[in-house]
Amino acid sequence: MTHLDPDRDLLPFLFDELEDDSRARVAAHLRECPSCARETAALRALANALPRALAPTPDAMASARARLERSLAPQRPTPKIRSRDRFVLTSATLAAAAILILLLRPHVDLAPPALPASLQALDRQAISRFILDRLPRLPLVKERTGA
Amino acid sequence: MSESDEEYIAAFLRGDELAFRELLERYQEPVLGLLQRMTRDRQAAEDLFQEVFLKVFRQVASLRDRTRFRVWLFRIAVHQARRFFEQHKRMADMSVADQSIGQEPDVVERDDLLARVRDAVELLPERQREVVVLRAYQGLSYEEIAEALGVTAENARANFYQGMKKLKRDFGPETGEPA
């Protein structure tokens, strides 16, 4: 009895690469030939073991993923302000600054500076809030990545 | 139902970062597995894993045929691993001669048949190893392997059969035993 050829018959049979008639021929031979059946069983066991043997271990996967996450963080797009919105923002900031100067001006010219009691009570945070409260709410536009 | 690769890519390019994460989830294990087997070095594989996905993050917009994403991704991974392999070829050859490739295997794992199959794959010649990993582990067709490796489909098939026969010679009696 002529045995099956690994390249032409056994491996293509195991990896489902044969046409129907060839597949039937190999299957029929394997039923009759213990030697080829053993050979096929060994190859099949190896083929079945390979995906499990070659998969990364969970700890390696977790470690690689954590490192990738750290690398990706700086890659992420930051929200970008459109030029029209930037113009509005700049104008509003200038307007707020002008209001603040007008409010403070009479006192800035005096020496020593003497702010009205209401403004003297304002600290840096309060002034910032004062300005920010007068800025329009601007929509932030997400940058198209990779475009 | 999960989306196709090309749908995720389109969503990612529209600014949906979650879509990139979905692609990452889908391919992280095959890519790391491929890199580990090709570099034979866990640390290097993790370094290259980052490189591969950073490249994907930056360059996926330039991918013309998004249905070929999987092959494109593996091509990047193979390219990265080959570069590493070339840079460390001498060191790797010495390691092969010493039978002490990459990091020291875990003591428990050393007794495991799967660990020995893994070691045997790592000892295959480079092209056979690439093809065995891409075919038997990743399930790529010979045509896809040919595209990823820059060889013909026939060459991929021949190398796969050679690699499998060599592995079978090393492990036939053991893997042939009923589990």
Torsion of CA B82, B86, B90, B91, to 10 degrees: -50
Going by C-alpha positions, the residue among B156, B175, B118, B116 that lies closest to residue A44 is B175
- Mean pLDDT, rounded, of chain A: 75
Name the percent of chain A lying above pLDDT 70.
61
ipTM score for this prediction: 0.72
Q: Do A67 and B53 touch (CB under 8 A)?
A: no
Is A74 a residue whose pLDDT tops 90?
no
Query: Over the stretch B116-139, which tens digit does the pLDDT of each residue have?
Result: 888 899 899 999 999 999 999 888
Query: Over the stretch A4-36, which tens digit does the pLDDT of each residue have?
Result: 999 999 999 999 899 999 999 999 999 999 999
Is B67 a residue whose pLDDT tops 60?
yes
Omega before A136 within 30 of 0, i.e. cis: no
pLDDT for B137 equals 87
Name the percent of chain B lying above pLDDT 70.
82
Using a CB-CB distance cutoff of 8 angstroms, which residues of chain B are in contact with residue A37? none
Q: Which of A39, A46, A146 minimises the CB distance to B171?
A: A46
Q: Do A50 and B136 touch (CB under 8 A)?
A: yes
Which of A105-119, A122-136, B89-103, B108-122 is most confident? Answer: B108-122
Q: What is the mean pLDDT of residues A38-50?
A: 89
Using the Cβ of B125 and the Cβ atoms of chain A, whether some distance falls under 8 Å is answered with no
What does the alpha-carbon distance between residue A139 and residue A109 come to, in Å, rounded to a whole number? 39
pLDDT for B98 equals 41
